Amino acid sequence: MSTAAVLPRGVTTGGRLKLAVWSMMIGLRPMLTGYWAVMVVAMFFGGLVIQSLSGGIHTSAWDYATQSPKYFSLAIGLTITPAYFSLLVSHGLTRRMFSVAASIYLTGAAAATSVLWVLVYQLERLLYGWQGWTDKLTNPHLFTDPSQSGLVFAEFFLLILSHEVTGWLLGITFARLGFWRSLLMLPLTVLPAAAAEFLLVAQWIANVLENTGYRRPPLAIAVPAVLAVSALGLYAGYRILQPMALKPPKG
């Protein structure tokens, strides 16, 4: 007669998963909220001050911040495996559960950052309207006006999530395979971010592609494709993690 393995009393799989996600939220909170604060103060309020001192406010100050979140989020994805894999797995979390927890955290962080960008765009729109300033956008976007909150959220969420997944893959491959073999894996690891850039054609890359004849596919195709590639990237990271041994902490 076989007996099923059971967890200690009071411990559930869902509880472990919740604690893993919570530990990532708490551990990475200073990094994430610090970034948000710097961006709002430096890029938004600082941009308003600089424009007002240099001839008046004629463009969106917050639109200068559009390039930053996806690259910062790549660093968030890069951090998770080196920071949490050995710690959480050595405390009983399975590799599959670690991957699920990381996926939940990365998706939530992408959504939270995108909401912040939507809110500051709306704050800026109200402020500019009150003062009679022109909030001209300086970068190409999926949206043509910041009042299109759904498109603002979609653009930033998809770009941030895809870059987080690229960071997730980079962190895993460099931790498991080392430097040189990880370089050979770059075509795989950068695929989520590259796919999002070429499918959405927003922000700086739109200017690069403008004269090449390349056109963005319909959003009905681009949005599901970016989500699918990002999901496959998260799954690929899980598969690469499966045989990865735990490394003892240094120091």
Average pLDDT over residues 117-133: 91
pLDDT at residue 248, as a whole number: 55
Dihedral sign (CA 145, 230, 227, 105): negative
Q: What is the pLDDT of residues 83-97, one digit of tens each?
A: 999 889 988 889 999
Please list the residues that pair with 136 across neighbouring strands.
59
pLDDT at residue 148, as a whole number: 94
Distance CA 34, CA 29 (A): 8
Distance CA 144, CA 187 (A): 33
Would you say residue 3 has pLDDT above 90?
A: no
Q: What is the pLDDT of residues 5-15, one digit of tens each?
A: 444 444 577 88
Cα angle 179, 184, 188 (rounded to 5 degrees) comes to 115
Three-state SS letters, the chain: CCCCCCCCCCCCHHHHHHHHHHHHHHHHHHHHHHHHHHHHHHHHHHHHHHHHHCCCCCECCHHHHCCHHHHHHHHHHHHHHHHHHHHHHHCCCCHHHHHHHHHHHHHHHHHHHHHHHHHHHHHHHHHHHHHCCCCECCCCCCCCCCCCHHHHHHHHHHHHHHHHHHHHHHHHHHHHHCHHHHHHCHHHHCHHHHHHHHHHCCCHHHHHHCCCCCCCCCHHHHHHHHHHHHHHHHHHHHHHHCCCCCCCCCC
Q: What is the pLDDT of residues 186-236, one digit of tens each?
A: 999 999 999 999 999 988 788 788 778 788 899 999 999 999 999 999 999
Return the higher-pLDDT residue of 53 and 30.
30
Distance CA 102, CA 97 (A): 8
Distance CA 204, CA 55 (A): 25
pLDDT at residue 138, as a whole number: 86
pLDDT at residue 11, as a whole number: 54
Q: What is the pLDDT of residues 132-182, one digit of tens each?
A: 888 888 888 999 998 999 999 999 999 999 999 999 999 999 988 888 888
- Give which of 97, 80, 75, 71 is closest to 19, Cα–Cα: 97
* Longest CA pairwise span in the chain (Å): 83
Cα angle 139, 141, 145 (rounded to 5 degrees) comes to 95
